[in-house]
Amino acid sequence: MKLEDIDIIIEKTDRRKTVSIFIERDGSVRVLAPAIATEEKIENAVRAKEYQIFRKLAKWKELNQGKVNREFVNGQSFLYLGRNYRLTIVENQQVPLKISGGNFQLDKKHLSKADKVFKEFYKDKAEQKIAERLKLIEEKFQLKPTSVKVLELQNRWASWTPKNGLNFHWKCAMAPVPVLNYIITHEMVHLKYPNHSAEFWNELDKKMPNYREYENWLKHNGVKMSL
């Protein structure tokens, strides 16, 4: 459906009991609705929240003014675990990309596929760091994930699967460790509470009382976590 000139993405699922509206990181508007919800009910829910949708979109545009358009050239900065590292193009390096001497070093012969090389680097580092942090965090939980994967998740930092698997975006490797801890903890709570219900937020608050600080960091800095 459309709201003025805005395309609304509608997804139906058996796991939902109410209609919820989200502004994704790319600025798209997504509606999650119960599988049995009629088109009329969904449209009425969207129309009822028209003001909130436009207000959130305006906020999204404001936050996205800080977006960084990175180029693979000497001196360009790239994020890793919350820190900026300048890029240096080098020759005859044994690996395509590494961090050394406070800089990202990219071998010149891999420059034509730098985007792929960086993604592979972040994916590998995210797998290592998430496994390390998860080992500590899951001690607070009774339920454990059946699988943990690092993927391209489009507009989500992480996701929970109905089979209790956890998926994380490779961009998580760009976040500071405390923020990464929040992302992991958030998904661990989903093992018990799949939806963002009041019970979910109460449980998250118990497990990480200062989670709002890290949620706010992502809201204001997530746009910079990109290539």
Average pLDDT over residues 21-33: 81
CATH 3.30.2010.10 segments of the chain: 113-224
Model confidence at 65: pLDDT above 90: no
CA atoms of 149 and 168, how far apart (whole Å): 6
Residue 5 clears pLDDT 80, i.e. is over it: no
Q: To the nearest whole number, what is the mean pLDDT of the chain?
A: 90
- Least confident stretch, 44-53, 127-136, 154-163: 44-53
Q: What is the 3-state secondary structure (H, E, C) of 116-168?
A: HHHHHHHHHHHHHHHHHHHHHHHHHCCCCCCEEEEECCCCCCEEECCCCEEEE
Fold entry, domain 113-224: Zincin-like (3.30.2010)
Q: Does the pTM of the predicted model rise above 0.95?
A: no
pLDDT of 136 over the 90 cut: yes
pLDDT band at residue 131 using 50, 70 and 90 as cut-offs: very high
23-28 contacts, C-beta under 8 A, 24 or more apart: 23/53, 23/56, 23/57, 23/60, 24/155, 25/155, 25/156, 25/222, 25/223, 26/154, 26/155, 27/57, 27/60, 27/61, 27/64, 28/155
Across the range 189-211, mean pLDDT stands at 94
